[in-house]
Amino acid sequence: MFKFWRSSNVRSRLTLSYLAVVALMLSGFGLATFVVAYSQLRNQVGQFAMWELKTFQGLLFFAPDGTLRLPHEKLCESDDASGAYVTVLSPDGALLFQSRNLRGRGLGGPPAGGEGINGFSERSIRLPSGEHVRLLSKSHLLDGRRMLIRVARSEEPIRVQARRLLLMMLVTLPAVLVVAGAAGHVLARRALSPIQHMIFRAREITAERLGQRFANDEANDELGRLARALNDILTRIESAFEQLRRFTSDCPHELRTHLATIRSVGEVGLQKILTPDEYRNTIGSMLEEVDRLTSLVDSLLMITRADAGKLPLQRVAVSVMALAREAASLLEVLIEEKSLRLVFDGEERVEVEADRSILKQALVNIINNAVNYSPAGETVAVRVLIRDASEVMVEVEDHGPGISPDDQVKVFERFYRGGRAREGSPRGAGLGLAIAKWAVEANGASIGLVSVIGQGCTFRITLPRCIAKNDSVGHTQRASFIDG
């Protein structure tokens, strides 16, 4: 049974579950209806018996010969079983009176202890003839003599009605279940048809067709939420494949370029005899390319470790301005070569809770990006601002060519390099801003970009603030790191 249940499709399981629920509900309702109806009918029989007992109780009298009589004997002379059965007993069980329709049969046996003393005693019994009756007993005092009056009404008519009702339920229930099963099957098929369409669409999606999306994603029901979730997964997979495609095209190209440069410089140096200074310059050129190649490999290694979760964070209180100055100091040579002016502005003592080395890497990459794309002699501004009691913002502003709106949504993706707005500027492997985004988000922060073509761009990092006792808000210093 369980094996069949697991191997059957969802539509069959839903239909069977629906049928089981309907069957249980109808069976419960039918049983409750039967019990209530039978109980009410039996109570009605008991009420009739009670009225008749009260009537006989008022009519009984002792004749001069000492026998118990009724003023109208025909009240108890009916031979029809549909009439009431009446028996009057003395406390010791002696028969004082009996209706003719009993034909000398007993009615309930000897009196039980306390029967009919404190009110009507009521029970169902079966006569020797097999007939079921509802028996009421009541103790009665007549002319100083105690007696027990028993009146019974037949339950056979209500038993016949109960059997008819039960038979009707047993005949009706299968028919109702057949109709309910057919309706449940249709409803289950219609409810699951969107899932069937999703299955067909999923079979059509391949690595070359990741742009396909599931329909019904605008509905607000469970299937609509499932379609949206699957579409989000496809979007992330498509983005990952796109990054992988850029990696397989750009990264090998970058590696090949550096290796080709090293090879060509070495071959040129071997083609002729050079002076020591010329050999030194040749080796220096080769080492520069090796440095670039090492930087690329280090970036790839950092991303790989970050994806694998092998870069544990060590959060400490960090002075944002001091860390920004330290990051900029690593780019001092590049800044001097381009005669740039680096300006720091904002809160000197504000601190954040972050991993110092990882956050420093983010600042180095963002400042390096600003330096690379700034024209010679321009200014690069680094500002540390307090947004509110819980957040600190770091802004890095350059005056380069800016980033187009199409590139802004992709600039933080791995191996993505800017488009036409930045053509002619130094171009790397497209990993710097991706690493910066990961480093910022790893510290519970966020990074954004504001840019206008021809007017430069501003990168904004929002960090959770670390409130210290000696934190002095409002102490602002404007300084120049390098004045070109």
Q: Is it the case that residue 255 has pLDDT exceeding 80?
A: no
Are 398 and 380 within 8 A, CB to CB? yes
How high is the pLDDT of residue 11?
Answer: 77
Q: Is it the case that residue 145 has pLDDT exceeding 80?
A: yes
Average pLDDT over residues 242-263: 72
How high is the pLDDT of residue 473?
Answer: 41
CA-closest candidate to residue 373, choices 290, 270, 459:
459
How high is the pLDDT of residue 97?
Answer: 87
- 142-151, 243-252, 313-322, 407-416: least confident range: 243-252
- 205-214, 283-292, 472-481: least confident range: 472-481
How high is the pLDDT of residue 472?
Answer: 42
Q: Is it the case that residue 184 has pLDDT exceeding 50?
A: yes
DSSP readout, 51-88? HHHHHHHHH-EE-TTS-EE-S-GGGG----TTS-EEEE
DSSP readout, 381-449? EEEEEEEETTEEEEEEE--SS---HHHHTTTTSTT----GGGTTS----S-HHHHHHHHHHHTT-EEEE
Give tens-digit pLDDT for 220-232.
Answer: 777 788 888 888 8
Q: Is it the case that residue 479 has pLDDT exceeding 50?
A: no
Which has more confidence, 444 or 79? 444
How high is the pLDDT of residue 470?
Answer: 42
Q: Is it the case that residue 12 has pLDDT exceeding 70?
A: yes
Most confident residue range from 113-122, 204-213, 243-252, 415-424: 113-122
- DSSP summary character for residue 101: G
Which has more confidence, 135 or 65? 135
Residue range 11-160 forms a domain whose CATH class is alpha beta
Q: Is it the case that residue 374 has pLDDT exceeding 70?
A: yes
For residue 459, what pLDDT band results from cuts at 50, 70 and 90?
very high
Average pLDDT over residues 411-415: 75
Are 339 and 474 within 8 A, CB to CB? no
What's the 3-state SS for 341-365? EEEEEEECCCEEEEEHHHHHHHHHH
Does the structural domain 315-482 have CATH classification 1.20.1530.20?
no
How high is the pLDDT of residue 96?
Answer: 87
- DSSP summary character for residue 476: B
Average pLDDT over residues 331-360: 87
Q: Is it the case that residue 148 has pLDDT exceeding 70?
A: yes
By residue count, the chain amounts to: 484
Q: Is it the case that residue 4 has pLDDT exceeding 80?
A: no
How high is the pLDDT of residue 411?
Answer: 83
Q: pTM for the whole thing?
A: 0.49
Between the alpha carbon of residue 362 and those of residues 298, 367, 445, 450, the distances in Å are: 14, 9, 11, 17
> Which pair of tokens denotes residue 218?
């605008």
For the chain, which residues make up each domain, given as ranges?
11-160, 222-308, 315-482
For residue 422, what pLDDT band results from cuts at 50, 70 and 90?
very low
How high is the pLDDT of residue 78?
Answer: 43
Give tens-digit pLDDT for 293-312.
Answer: 787 777 677 666 666 666 67
Average pLDDT over residues 392-399: 91
Q: What is the spatial distance between Cα 206 and Cα 239, in angstroms, rounded to a whole number?
A: 14
How high is the pLDDT of residue 474?
Answer: 40
For residue 5, what pLDDT band results from cuts at 50, 70 and 90?
low
Q: Is it the case that residue 426 has pLDDT exceeding 60?
A: no
Average pLDDT over residues 167-193: 85
> Which pair of tokens denotes residue 300?
């790839």
Q: Is it the case that residue 42 has pLDDT exceeding 80?
A: yes
How high is the pLDDT of residue 131?
Answer: 86
CATH code reported for the domain at 222-308 = 1.10.287.130
How high is the pLDDT of residue 249?
Answer: 67
Q: Is it the case that residue 115 has pLDDT exceeding 80?
A: yes
Q: Is it the case that residue 265 has pLDDT exceeding 50?
A: yes
Which has more confidence, 81 or 234? 234
For residue 72, what pLDDT band results from cuts at 50, 70 and 90?
low
Tokens 């990051």 — which residue? 327
How high is the pLDDT of residue 424?
Answer: 47
Give tens-digit pLDDT for 431-448.
Answer: 788 888 888 888 888 898
Q: Is it the case that residue 460 has pLDDT exceeding 80?
A: yes
Average pLDDT over residues 317-337: 88
Are 53 and 136 within 8 A, CB to CB? yes
Q: Is it the case that residue 44 has pLDDT exceeding 80?
A: yes
Average pLDDT over residues 414-424: 55
CA-closest candidate to residue 82, choices 158, 135, 154:
154
How high is the pLDDT of residue 344?
Answer: 92
How high is the pLDDT of residue 478?
Answer: 38
- Whole-number mean pLDDT of the chain? 80
